[in-house]
Amino acid sequence: MLQAGTTAPRALAKSLALLARIIENESGSSLSAIAAVAGIPLSTAHRLVTGFEETGFLMRIGRGRYVAGPALTRLADLRRDQDWGAFAARVSRPILNRVFRKTGRPTHLGVLEDNMMTYLVKAGDRQGHAISREGMQLEAYCSGIGKALLAHLPPLQLEAYLASEPFVRLTPTTITSAAELRRELVEIRKRGYAVDNGEMAPGLVCLAVPIKNPQSVSAAISLVATHEGAQCDPTDYLPLLQDTAQEIEKKLFPYLAAALSPPDNQSRRSA
């Protein structure tokens, strides 16, 4: 058992962090390496995995190496049968509604589906200023969310997408060539945000940032910075949108985030 120096919530968080990290590293990272990343003393990690093994959540495949066990596999199968998008929308909607109330700017959550950007959440915009609706699909190359997602695709998937050029020009600022889009996506990945500068509709400017888990980008959120010709700098909203993305990430991926957090002195004393 963990000693009294570690509170019950902290102990549970670290236990689940270890479990999540082991599942992520089923290719075979050693328990000692995983425990170090999760910020858990190796002796504590050994005690935890023994419990996970006894309950079927982990299975030992070699000295110090584990994979997901039958109990966890059954839970994962059930989770895959559910709609992850619906789950992400439920988590994100109240947060995006709060951003709309604070700024008066419509906000969205979107994902990539079959190379198209799909809106899962639209918060605000009762007057219909933003040409979007939940469930609507748009070409990814001409939207803020779409470009934020394309910028984080694995290289082979991105090259396959770019091979579909030329892209249809919707406005004078729409990117239509693969070479230009590739340069734009490299810059987006580097700076951490995307801007739709009237590329989908004239005068409609959106700022978008990705929703990340430790391994990939799962979704993105956007804020309509200006519409109908009103002028502003979309990056004025960047700190708020980045904070919003982090809040959503913590709710969607709490244990994966904990698994990557640096060790603290308290967890070192709990061995």
Structure confidence by residue, pLDDT tens digits, 185-228 = 999 999 999 999 999 988 889 999 999 876 788 899 999 987 55
Structure confidence by residue, pLDDT tens digits, 3-36 = 444 455 677 777 777 777 777 665 556 788 878 7
Domain of 94: which CATH number? Answer: 3.30.450.40
Domain match, 69 and 91 both: no
Instruction: Tell me whether residue 62 is in a domain.
Output: yes
Domain match, 222 and 190 both: yes
Structure confidence by residue, pLDDT tens digits, 99-126 = 999 998 999 999 998 899 999 999 986 6
Q: What is the mean pLDDT of the chain?
A: 80
Instruction: Tell me whether residue 271 is in a domain.
Output: no
Domain match, 231 and 103 both: yes
Domain of 44: which CATH number? Answer: 1.10.10.10
Domain match, 212 and 170 both: yes
Q: Which residue has the higher pLDDT, 92 or 128?
A: 92
Domain match, 64 and 171 both: no
Beta-strand runs (E) in 137-253: 137-139, 194-197, 205-212, 217-226
Q: Which residues span the domain enclosing 74? A: 8-79
Instruction: Tell me whether residue 46 is in a domain.
Output: yes
Under 8 Å CB-to-CB from 235, ≥6 apart: which residues?
A: 193, 195, 207
Under 8 Å CB-to-CB from 56, ≥6 apart: which residues?
A: 69, 70, 71, 72
DSSP SS3 for 233: coil
Q: Write the DSSP symbol of residue 167.
A: P
pLDDT of residue 127: 58
Give the end of a domain, one of 19, 49, 79: 79
Instruction: Tell me whether residue 200 is in a domain.
Output: yes
Domain match, 209 and 120 both: yes
Instruction: Tell me whether residue 194 is in a domain.
Output: yes
- Smallest Cα–Cα separation from 245: which of 215, 220, 218? 220
Instruction: Tell me whether residue 15 is in a domain.
Output: yes
Instruction: Tell me whether residue 268 is in a domain.
Output: no
Domain match, 93 and 59 both: no
The total of structural domains in the chain comes to 2
Domain match, 38 and 146 both: no
Name the burial class of residue 269, with classes exposed (0-12), middle (13-18) and buried (19+) by CB atoms within 10 angstroms of its CB: exposed
Q: Model confidence at 153, in pLDDT bands (50, 70, 90)?
A: very high
Backbone angles phi, psi at 67, to 5 degrees: -130, 170
Neighbours of 192 (CB within 10 A): 14
Domain match, 108 and 232 both: yes
pLDDT of residue 265: 39
pTM exceeding 0.85: no
Domain match, 74 and 91 both: no
- Smallest Cα–Cα separation from 131: which of 53, 180, 202, 185? 202
Instruction: Tell me whether residue 258 is in a domain.
Output: no
Give the end of a domain, one of 32, 62, 79: 79
Q: Structure tokens of 248?
A: 């959503």
Q: Structure tokens of 152?
A: 């984080």
Domain match, 229 and 106 both: yes
Domain match, 75 and 107 both: no
Is pLDDT of 175 > 50? yes
Neighbours of 48 (CB within 10 A): 24
pLDDT of residue 267: 37
Q: Which residues share a beta bridge with 208? A: 194, 222
Kindly state the average pLDDT of the residues 167-188: 95
